[in-house]
Chains A and B, each alone.
Chain A
Amino acid sequence: MHHYLEFRAIHYSYRGGAEALRGVDLRISHGEHVALIGGNGAGKSTLLLLADGLLMPSAGEVIVGGIKVEQSTLHVIRQNVGLVFQDPDNQLFMSTVEEDVAFGPRNMGLSEEEISRRVIEALRKVDAEGLLHRDSFRLSGGEKRRVAIATTLSMTPSIILMDEPSANLDPKSRRRLIELLRAFDHTLLVATHDMDLAEELCQRVVVLNKGQIVADGKKEEIFRRKELLESCSLEQPYAYR
């Protein structure tokens, strides 16, 4: 599978809500690290949910590695796309960290040994081996976030989507997260309004505002445009001020 991700003329309306996405065209190629920035309610989370087939577009299509996201392809899509939810409480639901991280690999039908191996490896990557037997809902915010990331890493996805990964992290955990994501050599799409995170992590930046892409380009170009960012409830990263 080629790990690219493509949105074609996407529209999405929530039931009883306004249009959350209004004609989004976006293509992310293999191995690219892209920051999706935008203020609250811009439509970032919605776009990520569409990319994993958890929501289906009202119009347009989503294509992952050449495969169109639709009911019949969901199982392939979800083995290749790892989504880290905005709120870790929504991601974790098993009683122990171990069970939670094993949930994805179990669905992939792996053997018990392979599952254990992946659980340990994923937890090691996020520096959380010590949490193996803990209750997943009795962890601190930062620990929950790391475990939530491990639950997708254990499925060895080729595309990772992250929704505001640095929210609720203390500076040290945030630093570790940045290092972890930098080392990830597959396709990465990070929705965030943490401008410094976007600056450190990604070469390309896509600005979303009120359900539409208003800018898309190299980070150096985008971050220089102070007015544009401010009109989208954002601000320049520290390094550009």
Chain B
Amino acid sequence: MSQNLERALLGLDRAFRPQAKGMAREIDPRAKLLVALTFLIAMLSTPLMDLGRVAAWGIPIMVAAYISRADYFSLVGYSLLLLPFVALIGLFNILYEREVVASLFGIAVTKGWIMALAITLRGIFSVQTILLMVFATGIYPLCGAMLKLRIPTLFVAQTLMIYRFLRVLLIELQEIIFATQARSAGIKRYPLRLWARIISELLIRTIRRARTLDMAMRARGWQGDVPLARQQYVWRWRDTLFLFAWLGVVAVVRFIRL
């Protein structure tokens, strides 16, 4: 189990690092950010009962992953980590919306089930979009673009902080698991009690880490804002082209009845 975790952590870490090559990397970060934001808004505003349309959002994501040469399968893998949370939200719909709207192989499908499925898909696609955006742009250029687009500094600083903190948290989690494993005398399955220990340990370390991370950043001149190089972004024709091509795709998926 911990080998899988190790692999997952490594992969997630890598997924967050800007590695996209070629065209996707060269497009102005502002264009990518605008596309991602409209994409998110359009997707999240798709009516839940329009399940086919909600599912269709998966296609442009696949295309974007292909263009930026991201590993689509690990992208899907990481977005599935969120599954329990979104599914929980969906669960409420299943309980409350009991109106039967269709029947599949003789099983009644209620409105709640469709909505739950749509919510889950939307959640997963959102995570994929965000991961892909970070992957194709890099966290710093992305935050730079946010500032250029007049998104409040406080919000951008928070984004950066969460990003750093998540990384550090992953490292801690891995260390705890190694330490536990080293003393587990080879048992394969950890009892619940041990998991509780691991989680409480993680909480304690999280607080400690937050403190040292803060110190490390302040010691190097960080003052609670967004440390970005005074970078000049040059908006070129191809950025306009990129922007409109994607806005077109978004409009098609959102509004055209096929």
Chain A residues with a Cβ under 8 A of chain B: 49, 52, 54, 74-75, 78-79, 83, 85, 90-96, 99, 103-104, 106-112, 115, 135, 137, 151-152, 155
The main secondary structure of chain B at its interface with chain A is helix
Q: Do the beta carbons of A108 and B221 come within 8 Å of each other? A: yes
Judge whether B220 and A151 touch: CB under 8 Å: yes
Tell whether, in the assembled complex, residue A107 and residue B167 are in contact, meaning their CB atoms are under 8 Å apart.
Answer: no
**Please, how many residues of chain B have a CB less than 8 angstroms from a CB on the other chain?**
24
Q: Are A107 and B220 in contact (CB under 8 A)?
A: yes
Can you report 16 residue pairs joining A to B where beta carbons are below 8 Å apart?
A: A54-B215, A54-B218, A75-B221, A78-B219, A79-B221, A93-B164, A93-B216, A99-B140, A103-B222, A107-B220, A107-B227, A108-B221, A109-B229, A109-B230, A110-B229, A152-B220
Residues of B within 8 A of A104 (CB): 220-221
Query: What residues of chain A lie closer than 8 Å to B230, measured between beta carbons?
Result: 109, 111
Q: Does B192 contact A (CB under 8 A)?
A: no
Tell whether, in the assembled complex, residue B223 and residue A107 are in contact, meaning their CB atoms are under 8 Å apart.
Answer: yes
Residues of B within 8 A of A95 (CB): 13, 16-17, 167
Number of A-B contacts (CB under 8 A): 67
- The complex places the Cα of A106 from the Cα of B17 at a distance, in Å, of 18
Instruction: Tell me which residues across on chain A come within 8 A of B212, comparing CB atoms.
Output: 85, 90
A93 touching B168 in the complex, CB below 8 Å, given contacts A75-B223, A106-B228: yes
**In the complex with contacts A90-B215, A135-B13, A111-B229 CB distance below 8 A:** yes
Contact B227 A106 (CB under 8 A): yes
Give the chain B neighbours of A79 by CB distance below 8 A.
221
B213 within 8 A of partner (CB): yes
What A residues does B171 contact at CB under 8 A?
137
Query: Interface on B for A, CB 8 Å cutoff?
Result: 13, 16-17, 140, 164, 167-168, 171, 212-213, 215-223, 227-231
Q: When the two chains form their complex, are residues B13 and A107 in contact, meaning their CB atoms are under 8 A apart? A: no
In the complex, the answer to whether A115 meets B219 with C-beta atoms within 8 Å is no
Q: Could you say which of A54, A85, A106, A110 has the most chain B C-beta atoms within 10 Å of its C-beta?
A: A106
CB distance from A159 to the nearest CB of B (A): 13
Which residues of the partner chain B approach A78 to less than 8 Å between Cβ atoms?
A: 218-221
In the assembled complex, the CB of B231 is this many whole angstroms from the nearest CB of chain A, namely 6
A52→B229 contact, CB < 8 A: no
Given A90-B215, A95-B13, A95-B16, the answer on whether A112 and B231 have CB atoms closer than 8 Å is yes
> CB distance A107 to B221 under 8 Å?
yes
What chain A residues lie within 8 Å of B13 (beta carbons)? 95, 135
| 5 nearest A-B residue pairs (beta carbon) | A107-B221, A104-B220, A106-B227, A90-B212, A107-B227
